[in-house]
């Protein structure tokens, strides 16, 4: 029989799955749910020692002789303090001691609660890792609790052995603490780590599992341009497993079998992805900007994810992580390709993604960029945002950030470096074709607006013979404006500054219909121009406020004839920019994908009626006539 207290249930389940059998228990109340659960389970071998200090040293001796981790568990307050000497000894002897400290409701810390002190990180000088579990009430709490316990247990022997602490607070009544009425222990998610040169049988076990996987989705996050050897390794893997290699521009992976799925992720829903049926998701690299992360979290119960991290860190963006591979991506793909020499990719999943992507191709983006806003206005969701008086967004001369970035994408020279400031600059550029020779970057590790230009300029200085382009919004530019005074800037620098009078991102997520005073403090509306500052720093300065002007100055912006860096400042309206972007996203989600889905039997089977119904709604509303 087991406790019904969830964080302790998860802890006991993962102790069993990680094969931690030996526990030394001291007397007390806060850890009763743990003690009562393990003493009734034949898997565990329990020892009773009242004195926590002696219990810790006793466990130290057990662990040394067993050659495996041993757990110690006690109640809250000064009982935990008595563990310090044996934990310190374990740290310096490199003995894997798992320290389990019961605790009280964290909300009551320093509020005169009986038998309660600050136990979080109390052993930080002598433990390899310290975690404090949440009080579990929601599904998200379960995921977080599982992740913390797995992280702590895996650290016991990661790059050397040593002690770790898991603090588990309990806010239940004495009756609930003593209740061990759950007949079967639930199975919670175990995470394993595979390290190069260790536990070869574990690697072979994973290879056997991957061979059985029906559909594998390889997600490539942001990274520096892939080496030729990595691309060859990924191609060899893709030839031998039923997979699709999903990229976006920031992945900088251009191997034979890769597929840029950004627009597909914009067009489909999580339910469609679920019907496509990936059962293993393999992820490596940094962050990414497509909606695939959100969608994979929605379908997390139907698949599992593996992460490749050269430092072995537990990173679980899709919230269903089961395996971490501490190696380079190249090593990973080489190992699993060699482990499946007779494997063959039936390309079914790959072809379905290709089919979906092809349905989103829009050959006439020039006209689309002028007309797409009409969809946004026609949608009830956007009816509260009519076009500004006196402006015709459908006129041939209207300039939006969307149109400007599209036009730039068509003329960026091959072999250039392109840095995209976060959010809308990054989102929009993903929607258009770029040559594979263009290396694309963005500071999406933290998504901060403060240093995009400085980062870009640092990159440009390292490539004096390469044309370097930055697309940046006004708030980000003015935040980092001192950087264009750096004395080392070369004539290879081209900066497109989209000045739409404030933070357009806040119009994307909220807007004045939700926050009437949004321009005052949230979007920081302004009427500033960068012209004088740019000129004072010996840059060329170009400007445009409509489509005709932009078309006229764009060749000058791209030109390398003058021996100066250049800034092209365009003036748009943030509310209009967001309408155009939202209209475009709505169009590819409903019109260009779903309306044509019936022409392809594979995609029709995947999407079925969900997206098709959206198209019927468009037709009924009369918006179809605009296309």
The predicted structure's pLDDT at residue 621: 34
The predicted structure's pLDDT at residue 478: 95
* DSSP character at residue 572: -
The correct answer on CATH 3.40.50.970 for the domain covering 365-580 is yes
Whether 193-358 shares its CATH topology with 365-580 is answered: yes
Burial of 586-612, coded b for 16+ CB within 10 Å and e otherwise, reads: bbbbbbbbbbebeebeebeebbeeebb
Q: In angstroms, rounded to a whole number, what is the distance separating the alpha carbons of residues 171 and 404? A: 56
Burial of 293-325, coded b for 16+ CB within 10 Å and e otherwise, reads: bebbeebbeebbbbbbbeebebbbbbbbbbbbb
Q: Which residues contact 139 (CB under 8 A, 6 or more apart)?
A: none
- What's the chain's average pLDDT? 87
Sign of CA pseudo-dihedral 501, 502, 503, 509: negative
Q: Which residues contact 510 (CB under 8 A, 6 or more apart)?
A: 518, 522
% of the chain surpassing 90 pLDDT: 66
160: left (phi over 0), alpha (psi -120 to 50) or beta: left
Q: State whether residue 132 is helix, strand or coil.
A: strand
The owner of tokens 């662990």 is 63
CATH number of 6-189: 3.40.50.970
User: Residue 24's beta-bridge partner residues?
Assistant: 47, 72
The predicted structure's pLDDT at residue 326: 98
Q: In angstroms, rounded to a whole number, what is the distance separating the alpha carbons of residues 372 and 289? A: 22
More confident residue, 90 or 618: 90
DSSP string, 263-316: HHHHHS-HHHHHHH---EEEEESS---STHHHHHHHTGGG-EEEEE-TT-----
- pLDDT exceeds 50 at position 351: yes
The predicted structure's pLDDT at residue 368: 55
The predicted structure's pLDDT at residue 537: 96
Provide the pLDDT confidence category of residue 374 given band limits of 50, 70 and 90. Answer: very low
- pLDDT exceeds 90 at position 277: no
Provide the pLDDT confidence category of residue 365 given band limits of 50, 70 and 90. Answer: low
- pLDDT exceeds 70 at position 196: yes
**Whether 52 contacts 99, CB under 8 Å:** no
More confident residue, 459 or 364: 459
Residues 502-513 have pLDDT tens digits of 998 888 878 888
Q: State whether residue 194 is helix, strand or coil.
A: strand
Residue 8 burial class via C-beta count within 10 angstroms: exposed 0-12, middle 13-18, buried 19 and up: buried
- pLDDT exceeds 70 at position 389: no
User: Within 10 A of 476 (CB to CB), how many other CB atoms are there?
Assistant: 24
Provide the pLDDT confidence category of residue 587 given band limits of 50, 70 and 90. Answer: low
Q: In angstroms, rounded to a whole number, what is the distance separating the alpha carbons of residues 15 and 312? A: 20
**Whether 626 contacts 592, CB under 8 Å:** no
553, containing H or E segment: helix 547-558
Query: What's the angle, vertex CA 57, arms to CA 53 and CA 61, rounded to 5?
Result: 165
SS (H, E, C) 68-115: CCEEEEECCCHHHHCCHHHHHHHHHHCCCEEEEEEECCHHHCCCCCCC
- The listed CATH number (2.40.160.10, 3.30.450.20, 3.30.530.20, 3.40.50.1220) that belongs to domain 193-358: 3.40.50.1220
* DSSP character at residue 153: H
The residue extents of the domains of the chain are 6-189, 193-358, 365-580, 592-626
**Number of helices (H), then strands (E), in the chain:** 25, 19
% of the chain surpassing 70 pLDDT: 88
The predicted structure's pLDDT at residue 371: 52
- pLDDT exceeds 60 at position 626: no
Rounded (to 5) percent helix, strand, coil in the chain:
45, 15, 40
User: Residue 71's beta-bridge partner residues?
Assistant: 23, 98
Q: In angstroms, rounded to a whole number, what is the distance separating the alpha carbons of residues 326 and 249? A: 25
Distance of CA 439 to the CA centre of its chain: 21
In angstroms, the Cα distances linking 437 to 154, 443, 464 are: 40, 20, 17
Tokens linked to 508: 């994307």
């Amino acid at each position: 029989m087991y406790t019904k207290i969830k964080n302790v249930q998860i802890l006991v389940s993962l102790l069993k799955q990680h094969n931690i059998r030996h526990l030394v228990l001291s007397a007390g109340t806060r850890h009763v749910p743990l003690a009562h659960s393990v003493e009734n389970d034949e898997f565990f071998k329990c020892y009773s020692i009242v004195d926590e200090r002696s219990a810790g040293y006793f466990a130290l001796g057990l662990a040394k002789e067993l050659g495996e981790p041993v757990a110690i568990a006690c109640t809250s307050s000064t009982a935990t303090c008595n563990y310090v000497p044996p934990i310190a000894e374990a740290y310096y002897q490199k003995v894997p001691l798992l320290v389990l400290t019961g605790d009280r409701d964290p909300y009551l810390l320093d509020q005169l609660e009986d038998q309660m002190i600050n136990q979080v990180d109390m052993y930080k000088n002598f433990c390899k890792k310290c975690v404090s579990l949440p009080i579990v009430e929601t599904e998200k709490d379960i995921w977080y609790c599982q992740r913390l316990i797995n992280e702590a247990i895996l650290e016991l022997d990661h790059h050397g052995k040593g002690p770790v602490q898991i603090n588990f607070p309990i806010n239940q009544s004495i009756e609930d603490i003593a209740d061990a009425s759950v007949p079967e222990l639930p199975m919670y998610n175990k995470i394993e780590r595979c390290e190069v040169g260790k536990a070869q049988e574990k690697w072979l076990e994973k290879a056997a599992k991957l061979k059985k996987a029906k559909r594998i989705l390889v997600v490539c996050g942001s990274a520096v341009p892939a080496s030729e050897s990595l691309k060859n390794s990924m191609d060899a893997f893709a030839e031998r497993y039923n997979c699709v290699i999903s990229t976006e521009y920031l992945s900088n992976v251009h191997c034979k079998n890769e597929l840029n799925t950004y627009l597909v992720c914009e067009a489909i829903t999580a339910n469609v992805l679920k019907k496509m049926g990936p059962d293993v998701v393999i992820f490596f690299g940094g962050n990414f900007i497509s909606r695939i992360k959100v969608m994979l979290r929605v379908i997390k119960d139907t698949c599992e994810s593996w992460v490749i991290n050269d430092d072995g860190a537990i990173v679980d963006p899709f919230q269903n992580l089961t395996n971490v591979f501490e190696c380079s991506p190249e090593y990973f793909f080489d190992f699993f390709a060699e482990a499946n020499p007779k494997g063959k990719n039936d390309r079914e999943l790959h072809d379905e993604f290709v089919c979906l992507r092809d349905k989103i191709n829009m050959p006439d983006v020039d006209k689309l960029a002028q007309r797409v806003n009409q969809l946004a206005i026609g949608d009830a969701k956007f009816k509260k945002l009519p076009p500004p008086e006196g402006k015709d967004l459908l006129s041939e001369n209207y300039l939006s950030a969307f149109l400007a970035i599209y036009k730039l994408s068509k003329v960026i020279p091959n072999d250039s470096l392109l840095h995209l400031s976060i959010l809308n600059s990054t989102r929009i550029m993903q929607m258009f074709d770029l040559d594979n020779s263009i290396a694309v970057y963005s500071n999406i590790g933290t998504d901060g607006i403060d240093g995009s230009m400085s980062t870009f300029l640092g990159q440009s200085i390292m490539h004096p013979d390469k044309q370097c382009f930055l697309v940046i919004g006004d708030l980000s530019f003015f935040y980092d404006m001192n950087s264009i005074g750096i004395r080392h800037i070369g004539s290879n620098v081209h900066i497109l500054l989209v000045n739409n009078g404030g933070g357009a991102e806040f119009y994307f997520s909220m807007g004045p219909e939700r926050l009437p005073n949004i321009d005052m403090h949230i979007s920081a509306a302004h009427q500033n121009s960068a012209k004088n500052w740019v000129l004072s720093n010996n840059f060329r300065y170009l400007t445009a406020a409509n489509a005709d002007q932009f078309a006229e100055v764009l060749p000058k912006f791209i030109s390398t004839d003058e021996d100066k860096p250049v800034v092209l400042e365009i003036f748009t309206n943030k509310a209009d920019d967001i309408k155009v972007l939202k209209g475009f996203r709505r169009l590819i989600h409903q019109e260009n994908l779903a309306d044509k889905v019936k022409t392809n039997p594979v995609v029709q089977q995947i999407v079925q009626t969900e997206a098709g119904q959206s198209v019927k709604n468009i037709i009924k509303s009369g918006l179809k006539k605009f296309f």
